[in-house]
Structure 1
Amino acid sequence: MLALASAILLAGCVPTNSTGSPRELTRPAAPSQEIPDPQNPAWVEQTAERTGIPERALEAYSSASIQLAELMPECGIGWNTLAGIGATESRHGGYGGATIGPDGTVSPAIVGVPLDGGEGVAAIPDTDGGAFDGDTEWDRAVGPMQFIPETWSFYGRDGNGDGQADPHQFDDAALSAGVLLCERGGDLTTDDGWNTAVLAYNQSLSYANTVADRAESYAASTSTATE
């Protein structure tokens, strides 16, 4: 379920049909101990081939996990969790035919429906003057990790070191998503921490299970390839 279709990401709207229960999957159950290395073209190419994740998106997820290991070492978030969210939110930045440029900018910009209080969405009047979402009346979820501008104002981080935080730039978006998850969940190597974090990102059990399934699949792909 894409946040752009449902527009419930961090909007405080809880779906009424959610079933199932999320479970921990911040890192594979039987990891290969392979350390992600976004600066290593061989690692990026091989992992992208195994998982089906675009190389530039994979660089953003893995770089964010490395930065977070230094900034918030108590969190323990895995790159595969970020990838699971990116896949669910925007198809790794490919929703609607969008592509990721070499600099990590996703274009055309991925922008969700207006959060105008209609069916299935919260009412969030414009908070960014349309700077990120092009809407001066209502906020909309934006970018490959589908941040609402109001939430971006709290969690937006500069992931690529260019001096600005842009939700449409993949490195920035991935690191910011990780910061949000870590702050909300604490220790994401525990069931409670992971579940709390992902449900803070999107208040849907079915969403959390989808992210978990995808994170598990990515972890299994990399683990199996090295066994």
Structure 2
Amino acid sequence: MRKTWGAAVAGVGAAVLLLSGCTVGDGSAAPSGPDATFAVFAPAEAAASVGTYRDGTPTAQLPDGAWLDRVADATGIPRRALQGYAGAALASNEVRPECHLGWNTLAGIGWVESHHGTIFGGHIDDDGVTSDLIIGVPLDGDGFQQIADSDEGAVDGDTEWDRAVGPMQIVPTTWAAWATEANGDGVPDIHNIDDASLSAAEYLCYSGGDLGTEDGWRAAITGYNESPAYLDEVLDFADRYATEAEAAR
């Protein structure tokens, strides 16, 4: 399970709640059926001259450079963060085509969790690693889910409580189960946007099955964080990013 930073830079997470419906950012009812899937399956463009993730190509090399430039400019997503999201989505759709994960779903999560790695005034370096560590608050049950230390502080530096870590804010228990290497160095790094995005993609596909359906998408996001407010905000940004990218074609 995951903790969300929400919109405030100070990082006030939502309490874990059962999913009880969804609204979009303006407070209106969320769309249902096929209309809702536009927000979850916006495709990224792959570079034609590179290999595949199965062949060992780092995920950061998979997205088309011109597409990254255009969409980063249109959406305001930092290019290196977008590269991580798009590369992970392309790799995921290569190895799990039945999942239908859109880059914009990862981007929506990345915004809510860490403002694309910039939440504490930092950024994502060219190698994909955040310039500053992004460590969440203790998950001690005070406004958040309660998760006692599971890793002896190895991932989050806390030997009493677990904390969410990295640009995608993954807790140690989830990282232990779903950590996936994306950049070719053989070592999954929770602070690396490529590794963290692909690990998040694996977990989302496991939680939701087919994210090209509304039920599957909602199940995936609920698996990441059970707060209805969290789902609303991710949906809002995922839809916004898809719309802005489409308009920039």
8 Å contact kept, 2:117–2:167? yes
Provide the residue aligned with 2:58 in structure 1: none
8 Å contact kept, 1:7–1:140? no
Report matched runs for 1:136-215 at 5 Å: 136-215=159-238
8 Å contact kept, 1:69–1:76? yes
8 Å contact kept, 2:44–2:86? no
Question: What does the per-residue CA deviation read over 1:23-47, in whole Å, with 9 as the maximum and x for residues that have no partner?
Answer: 542125xxxx762555533221111
Q: 2:72 aligns with which of 48, 51, 66?
A: 48
Distance 1:90 1:193, change over 3 A: same
TM-score, reference length from structure 2: 0.80
Question: How many residues align structurally?
Answer: 218
8 Å contact kept, 1:77–1:188? yes
Unaligned runs of 5+ in 1: none
Read off the aligned partner of 2:11 and give its amino acid letter. A
Q: Structure 2 CA distance, aligned partners of 1:185 and 1:16?
A: 14
Q: Structure 1 CA distance, aligned partners of 2:248 and 2:152?
A: 47
Report matched runs for 1:94-173 at 5 Å: 94-118=118-142, 120-173=143-196
* Structure 1 segments of 4+ aligned residues over 6 angstroms from their partners: 15-19
Q: 1:77 aligns with which of 56, 80, 101?
A: 101
Identity %: 44
Q: 2:81 aligns with which of 45, 54, 57?
A: 57
Q: CA deviation at 1:209?
A: 1.4
Q: Structure 2 CA distance, aligned partners of 1:61 and 1:117?
A: 30
Larger RCO, structure (CA 8 Å, separation 6 or more): 1
TM-score, reference length from structure 1: 0.88
Q: CA deviation at 1:181?
A: 0.7
Q: 1:5 aligns with which of 1, 8, 11?
A: 11
Q: Structure 1 CA distance, aligned partners of 2:244 and 2:146?
A: 40
CA RMSD of aligned residues (A): 2.3
Provide the residue aligned with 2:110 in structure 1: 86
Q: CA deviation at 1:16?
A: 10
Q: CA deviation at 1:17?
A: 10
Question: What does the per-residue CA deviation read over 1:93-119, in whole Å, with 9 as the maximum and x for residues that have no partner?
Answer: 11111211111111311001111222x
Q: Structure 2 CA distance, aligned partners of 1:184 and 1:93?
A: 24
